[in-house]
Amino acid sequence: MNQHGGDASLLRRLNSAAVLRVLRNRTAAATLTELAQQVQVSRPTVETIMDELLEQGWAEECGQERGQRGRPAKRYRFRASAGRVLGLSVGAYRLQAVGVDLSGQVTQSRKAAIFPDMTADERLDAIERFVADCSEELGQRPMAVGVGTTGVVDGTGRVVKSSVLPGWSGLPLQEELSGRISAPVVVENDVRLAVLAEQWRGAAVERMDVLYLFAGNRMSLGMLIGGKPYRGAHSASGEIAEHATGLWQVFGPAMDFATAVEPGELRSPAQAAEFAFDKAAAGDPRAAEAVTALAVGLAESLVTVVGPFDPEMVIIGGSLSSGGALLVDPIQEHLNRTCLYPPEVVASGLGSDSVAIGAARLALEHTESDIALAHKPDIATV
């Protein structure tokens, strides 16, 4: 008898999950009959499930329409405001958060300055305070917090290695933050989250095989293979090692141009590139030459990856995305000449928000199992 009871309970939960999944994925409200047809269960079963989902706050009634026989048919939709998740980007100089509701709509954006020479504990304290501030602004605790950070991040959320943030190597970041934040925490490499964001809200929507080049104060790759961010055997996919000739040799033309124009101004490679972009956009022919040389250097490096990977799209992200067509067009032209199947090359439109948006998507994915089981949402105010 206990076995039968367990089977019935499991079936109810599975049916509830199916109904809620249909509601989440629909763009329009649904009647009980429509839900029963899509889930392939009886109408009375759906009616009972909907009563529970309404009581628990996961669904809401949104008006009626006349049925074929003149009887009003109630319509229902997923209640996206039932909860929020938070996506967080942890960089050397800045914390950035994006809050989204359960339909993925952005409801909050917030930034805070931090410092590269912080100890690990100081950075963890800053993250804890930042999440608390975001929660207070939201008016409710997030159902989950996704975190994107630089470095090699394994499947448990541990930072295996980081050359950017002091004390970050070997840090069980997901575990540490879970002890400080009153919500489930999931941690992933920032560039893998950036390519996830592009697939969800950016240039790569409905794309399955994508190469994302992050180029700013560091350079790394994100790869979407078969619709999923690729981690690699050691969770180090996309990490670009130091080249014998120097990682930033490709930025040489932009740095030479910036130094020639303003000899007394010290700029990082990324800052020099942005300076050249601005001057080229204003019509400076020397700047345009420097930008084209930078683009060709990037394209020559990309060919070694594009050939064996065979992506359908290459996205230029990070600070170099501000170059737009000035950078993208020469890269596209080079790949068209050298690749058997040249991918489409685009500049990211998400800018500095990409990692936080990807982290929010990761947090949403984490909540899906809880939502599917129709747990009552936590709407307690902070």
**Beta pairing partners, 268:** none
Question: How would residue 372 be classed by pLDDT, with cut points 50, 70 and 90?
Answer: low
The residue written with tokens 């409801």 in the block is 107
Burial of 89 (0-12, 13-18, 19+ CB in 10 A): buried
Query: Do 86 and 104 meet the contact criterion of CB atoms below 8 Å apart?
Result: no
DSSP per-residue string spanning 270-287: HHHHHHHHHHHHTT-HHH
Of 57-71, 108-122, 298-312, 323-337, which gets the smallest average pLDDT? Answer: 57-71
Quick one: pLDDT band at residue 331, thresholds 50, 70, 90? Answer: very high
What tens digit of pLDDT does each residue of 3-35 get?
A: 454 566 777 778 888 888 888 778 788 888 889
- Cα–Cα distance measured from residue 41 to residue 217, given in angstroms and rounded to the nearest whole number: 55
Say if residue 240's pLDDT is above 50. Answer: yes
pLDDT over threshold 90, residue 67: no
Q: What is the mean pLDDT of residues 271-284?
A: 95
> So what's the pLDDT on residue 14?
81
Q: Are the C-beta atoms of 142 and 86 separated by less than 8 Å? A: yes
Of 212, 91, 85, 101, residue with least CA distance to 146: 85
Q: Among 374, 246, 232, which residue's Cα sits nearest to residue 309?
A: 232
Please write the tens of the pLDDT for every residue from 210-226. Answer: 999 998 777 889 999 99
Model confidence band, residue 374 (pLDDT cutoffs 50, 70, 90) = very low
Instruction: Give pLDDT, residue 268.
Output: 87
Looking at per-residue pLDDT, the higher value among 74 and 87 belongs to 87
Q: Is the pLDDT of residue 290 over 80?
A: yes
**Six token digits for residue 47:** 């009616």
Phi, psi of 207 (to 5 degrees): -90, 150
- 239 vs 240 pLDDT, higher one: 239
Give the residue, 120 or 9, on which the prediction is more confident: 120
Structural domains in the chain plus CATH codes:
2-78 (1.10.10.10), 83-195+355-372 (3.30.420.40), 206-349 (3.30.420.40)
Mean per-residue pLDDT of the chain? 87
Tens-place pLDDT, residues 162-181: 988 999 999 999 999 999 99
pLDDT top residue among 52 and 69:
52
pTM, full prediction? 0.83
The gap between the terminal CA atoms of the chain, to the nearest Å, is 44
